[in-house]
Amino acid sequence: MSILGEHPQKITEKSLSYLLSLTRLDIEGSSMTRLAALSVIHQLITIDPTGDVRTLFLTNGILEQVLMEFDFGFESEENSTFLEVSLNILWNLSKLAICPVQPLISEVVFRRLMLLFDSTSSFYTFSSQFTSTVKSLCENKHLVGHVSPCTISVRVKEDITKATRGMLRTVSNFPTEVHVCTLYDTNDPDNEIDLTAHLVSNKLAWPLDTKSKPNQQKEDESENAWKDVIVTEVISGPYFWAHIGIETIENMRKIQNLLLLEYSSGRLHQMSCVKGDLIVVAKERDGEVFLFRAEVLSRKPQEVRVWALDYGFVVDVAADNVMNVYGTPNNLNHVSILDSLCIYIGLYFLKDPISDGVLIYEPFKCFLKGSQVVVFLKI
């Protein structure tokens, strides 16, 4: 027998309480159970010709849970199914008569819905597929690019903080500039790749119309802006770390050779460290020792979390014979960081808030159409 009993248009108080209890499980450990419960609720209110089931759920607190799942789905692309189910439930609830639907006509509901059309909100970001594609095309490759520096903005800092889960929030060596770039892979003369064109043609981003976006940072159009670029670490979306210019690339090789010489000759000394210390890390990679300068982000009894100053990545360093922590040689203590923070220009996230917002989330449009009262809120 179904959860509805003999009559699909009716639901028992016991079944309703059970479903609602499943939606209230701990967010961290029971996401699939909550999603299953929400999906069942969605099906129940979809086949509700009289509106009794929807009214019952609404009067028993379903709206609060739906808004919580909306927020959960809004936070991450990985949880977007929660957002879609929440919108579908709101849509079906909005079809009720004017009295039962009153709780939906509120600022807390409409604020969330308006976020779907706010291009500055966290919902509109580059996809994880975009990031993984940029990694495969760029990371650890010698490219050429059109590069121009500009002062780092608050928005860029916020984006980096979010992408790195706050790990770089307190580093003492965080850059004050971001380099605006377009990149080209010219390693194969018979198959040169314009990365912007590649990402657009594979439908991972929109080409950016700078005329319609006057506040967007533009590139330096001079010939001097062309640089050799080695991408060391893709952070997320359009952000990455890179060595820019032949001089920087050559200096980086000199530092690597110097560290390897110090290591091979036994002149690097293991040390204990605390947060904020500048150290040298030795890591085995592909059967060889890879050495890099780093800043300590945190210290635990058996491991140290560090940020590679000249490469951009964050890694946990275990105190064993594979990964080791050393003091920085005196002749490198005053050498500036060679890695630059970069942002890829010429692209816009795929989910365009004007042309795609309603198409991607049809329930939002239907929610507005289904509402029987038009209200004006100060959003």
Predicted confidence pLDDT, tens digits, the chain (379 residues): 344 444 444 566 677 777 877 877 665 557 788 888 888 888 888 888 888 888 888 888 888 888 888 888 877 767 778 888 888 888 888 888 776 777 777 788 888 877 776 655 555 677 788 889 999 999 999 999 999 999 988 888 888 888 888 888 888 888 889 999 999 999 888 888 999 889 888 888 877 654 444 334 455 556 667 999 999 999 988 899 999 999 999 999 999 999 999 999 999 988 888 899 999 999 888 888 899 999 999 888 778 899 999 999 999 887 554 458 899 998 888 888 888 999 887 776 655 444 444 334 444 444 444 444 433 333 3
Alpha helices in 47-95 (DSSP H): 52-59, 62-75, 80-93
Between the alpha carbon of residue 238 and those of residues 125, 178, 345, the distances in Å are: 10, 12, 8
**Cβ-based neighbour number of residue 231 at 10 Å:** 25
Q: Judge contact between 232 and 330, C-beta under 8 A.
A: no
pLDDT, residue 349, reads 63
Q: What is the pLDDT of residue 249?
A: 95
Three-class DSSP category at 184: strand
Among residues 11, 365, 342, the alpha carbon closest in space to that of 181 is found at 342
Termini Cα distance of the chain: 46
pLDDT, position 104? 77
Q: List the beta bridge partners of residue 226.
A: 146
Cβ atoms 125, 349 nearer than 8 A: yes
pLDDT confidence of residue 311? 95
Sequence-distant (6+) residues with CB within 8 A of 248 are: 338, 340
Q: What is the pLDDT of residue 280?
A: 93
Report the residue count for the chain: 379
